[in-house]
Amino acid sequence: MERRCMFISSFVLILHLVQAQDPTGFINVDCGLPLRESPYNSLPTGLAYISDADLVKSGKTSRIAKEFEPDYTKPILKLRYFPDGVRNCYHLNVTRDTKYLIKATFVYGNYDGLNVDPNFDLYLGPNIWTTVCLVKTGISIPFINVLELRPLKKDMYVTQSGSLKYEFRRYLSNSDRNIRYPDDVYDRKWYPMFVANSWTQVTTNLNVNSSNLYELPKGVMSTGVTPLNPNATLNITWTIEPSTTKFYSYMHFAELQTLRANDTREFNITMNGKITYGPYSPKPLKTQTIFDITPEQCDGGACLLQLLKTSKSTLPPLLNAIEAFTVIDFPQMETNEDEVAGIKNVQDIYGLNKISWQGDPCVPKQFLWDGLNCNNSDISTPPIITSLDLSTSGLTGIITQAIQNLTHLEKLDLSNNNLTGEIPKFLADIKSLLVIDLSGNNLTGSVPPSLLQKKGMKLNVEGNPHLLCTAGSCVNKRKDGHKKKSIIVPVVASIASVAVIIGAFVMFLVLRKKKASKFEGPQPSYIQASDGRSSEPAIMTENKRFSYSEVIAMTNNFQRILGKGGFGIVYYGFVNGTKQVAVKILSHSSSQGYKQFKAEVELLLRVHHKNLVNLVGYCDEGENMALIYEYMSNGDLKEHMSGTRNRFILNWGTRLKIVSESAQGLEYLHNGCKPPMVHRDVKTTNILLSEHFEAKLADFGLSRSFPIEGETHVSTVVAGTPGYLDPEYYRTNWLTEKSDVYSFGIVLLEIITNQPVIDQSREKPHIAEWVGLMLTKGDIISIMDPTLNGDYDSGSVWKVVELAMSCLNPSSARRPTMSQVVIGLNECLAAENSRGVSLTFGTEVSPRAR
C-alpha cells in the first residue's frame, strides 16, 4: 500500500531542530537512513537527503519488503516506525513567516510482515492533519518514509483562512512524463491528464514565458488542450468529500498557437454554472494564473469546471494546467514560544528522555506532557504552563535557571531527586509561583529571605539534611540536639493575626451600625441632586465616590492634561499616591449632561470585564462632576493608527489582538450584562490601550439598556458619531445591538486601511463605500495599509475584510452578532499568529475530462 500526502505550510512550529544544508533551501529527510549513509544525492533530482537520526528522539528503523523494492528507489526504501508512545515528533529548523510546501511520504511495503494496512493520525503542531507528529489511534504502528519541505513565496497559494490540502495537480498532455525538480523550482509534482476523445492536443516548441508568481515548468506550459468542436465547452469534473468542503482551484494559461489577424480566443470560466472569471483571453506564449480569492464549494461535492467560448470568439477555449486544494482550518494555537523554549531548556539540562515530552507541551490537551498543567482557556492567546512536576525524575545538579522562563508557573515540584547547591533567589521573582516542593533532595545553604517573606507562599524543604533557614523556623532543634525539618508555610504563622483582624473588623461593623442608627436615622435609597437636577435621581451608590477636593489633590491641581473632547478635559492623576488614574472633568458647557454622566457611572459600577475600562471612582459634587478611570498608558487606537502618538506602527497581529479584545468587551455588554447594554459610540478613539497594548472599550455616556425579553428594539433619539452611525438606526430611530455591530465594522475597516472614516477627496468619501468599490474591482492591495509593507497573513486579512463588510450590511438582521464577530476575529488572530499553517494528508484525487 502506498500512502502519500502533500501540504502547504507557512510555518511548522512542531518541526524544530536541524535543517539540511541545501542551496535551494529545501529540507530533505530520508526517514530511517543510518547516519553513516547520510547525506546522499537522490536520482533523478540530484537533491541531497539526510538521515533523520538527529531529528527525532524515538522510533526504530526498517525498510520495505524485498518484493516491493523494485517498485521504488531512494529515499522511499527505508522507513522509521514508532512502536512506543502515543505521539512521536520530528523537529526541524524552519524559518518563521516562510510558507512551505511540505510532502510526507508513507509506503507501507509490508515492512513488518503483517500485511495489514496501518491507520494513524498526523499532526502539525497541536493540530490534526487528518485520519510532523505521528499519533497512534489504535493498534496500528505509525511510520514514515520521507519528509520534505520546500519554501515558497508568501504570496503564492493565498487563503482567506486555514490551510490547503492537496487534491490534484495536472498538466494537459498525452505525455506519460511526471514533471518535478529541477524543472519545477519548487519541486511540485505535475502529472499528465489523459486527453479525452473530445479534446485535441495543442503544443509549441517556442519558449513560453513562465516568470509569473507561480513559476510553472516550461514542460507544463508548452502543452494544452482545446475542444475538438470549436463551439464546444471544455469540461473538467472531480469529486470532493465531504461535500461541504471548501476548495481553491488554480488554472494556468498561455496561448500556444499563432493567431491569425481575424482570430480571437475568448471564454468565460464557470464553476457549477456560476461565472467565476471572464471574459478572458490567454496571452501569447506568456503564463497567467487565474484563481478565485474566496474558496468555493460544490453542491453534493461534485465539481464541474467549464470554459465557455464567448459570442465574439472564433476559437475554442484553451487550458494548460490546473491545481486544486481543499481548505483545512487549524484552530489551536501553539504554546507560548518563550515557555516552550524554557521547558525545552529544562529538558536538555536535566537530560529528560520522557517519551511523552515531544511536540507541543500543552496542546492538544490529550497529549499534554507528563508533569505539566497548562492554561489554554483563551483560544485567542497561546497556552501557558502553570504547573511543573518533576518529582522522582532522577534530577541531578543545581536547580536550573531555565525555570525562570516559565513566567506563569503557579506550582513547582522538584521533590525526591538528587538536586544539590543552594535554593536560587529567582524562584521568588516568578510572581505567580505560590507552591514549591523541594523536599527529598541534597540542597545546601540557606533559604532565600525573599522566598520566606513572599505572601501566600507554600514551601516544602523537608528531607534536605544540609539546608539551613533564615528569618524563619524551617529548621527546629530537638531536645537531643538534632535538627528537625518542617514544612515552611509562612502564612500559617499569621493565623492568629488574621483572627485578630477579623475580630476587629466585626467589632468595627457593629459599632458603625450603632453609630449610624444613633446619629443618621433611616437612609434614602438615593441622594437627591441639589443643583437644579432634581428630576434626575443621583447615583444610587456611595461606593468609589470622591469629593472635589480629593479630585484636585489627585490631579495635583489639574497639572497634566492627557486629552480633550466634547465632554471636557482628561487629567493625569494618582489615587492613594500610587495608583495611576485618568480623571475626566465634565465641562459646564459639555454636550454630555448629567444624564450621560450618571449613565456611565452606574453602568461601570455594575459591569466588570477585562476589556471594559475600569471605573476607579467618580465625583458628583454640585456642578463639579468627574469620572476617575484606570490609566491606560498607551492612549487610544486612533492615535496609534494616525501616528499622532508616536512613530511606532502597529503590526497586523497587534491590530487583530486589539480589535479581538475590543469585540470581547462589546460582546459582554450585549450578552453578559443584565439587562443587556448597547454602547452607541463604538469608534477607535473609544478603544484604549494599556502598557502592554491590552484593549479596553471606554466612554459609556451614550450607552442604553437593551430591550427586555420579547422586545426587538428600543425607540430612542439618534446618538453617536458621524461615519460610525448605523444608517438603519439613523433612519428608523430603532436601536438594537446590531447598531454597535455596524460601528465595529467601521473600526475593522480602519485597522485594515488606516484611512479616515470620511474623506471627501476619495472617489467614495465614506470608508465603507470606498472599500466596497475597491473590492468590486478585485483590488485588495489598494485598500491595505501601506505601512504594513505586506507583513501579514493574507488569509486573515481577507477574513477580516469579509467580516467587516458583513457587519456593514444595510439590513441589521443580516449582520453577525458580536459573538460571531469574536469567533471570526479569534480565528483570524490564530491564523496570523501561526502564519496559516497549510497542509493535508490523504489519497490523491484525479480530475476527469468530460
Annotated binding site for ATP: 584
Instruction: Give the CA dihedral 802, 803, 807, 808, nearest 10 degrees.
Output: -30
Question: How many Å is the maximal CA-CA distance in the chain?
Answer: 115
CA distance 175 to 203: 11
Q: Given the C-alpha cell 514549591, which residue does it identify?
A: 436
Question: In b/e form, how buried is each residue of 134-157, taking b as 16+ CB within 10 angstroms?
Answer: bbbeeeebbbbbbbbbbbbebeeb
Residue 490 grid coordinates: 509562612
Nearest to 295, CA basis, from 252, 246, 250, 329? 246
Nearest to 643, CA basis, from 803, 786, 828? 786
Q: What is the DSSP string of 670-724?
A: HHTSSS-EE-S---GGGEEE-TT--EEE---TT-EEPPPTT---EE----S-TTT
Per the omega criterion (within 30 degrees of 0), is the bond before 227 cis? Answer: no
SS (H, E, C) 236-288: EEEECCCCCCCEEEEEEECECCCCCCCCCECEEEEECCEEEEEEECCCECECE
Q: What is the DSSP string of 363-410?
A: -SGGGPPTTEEEE---TTS--EEEEEE-TTS--EES--GGGGG-TT--
Query: Residue ranges for the binding site?
Result: 584
SS (H, E, C) 726-744: CHHHHHHCEECHHHHHHHH
Q: Given the C-alpha cell 516552550, which residue does it identify?
A: 340
Q: Is 681 a catalytic residue?
A: yes
What length is written for the chain? 850
At CA 824, angle to CA 823 and CA 827, rounded to 5?
90
User: Which of 184, 620, 681, 699 does the annotation list as catalytic?
Assistant: 681
Catalytic residues: 681
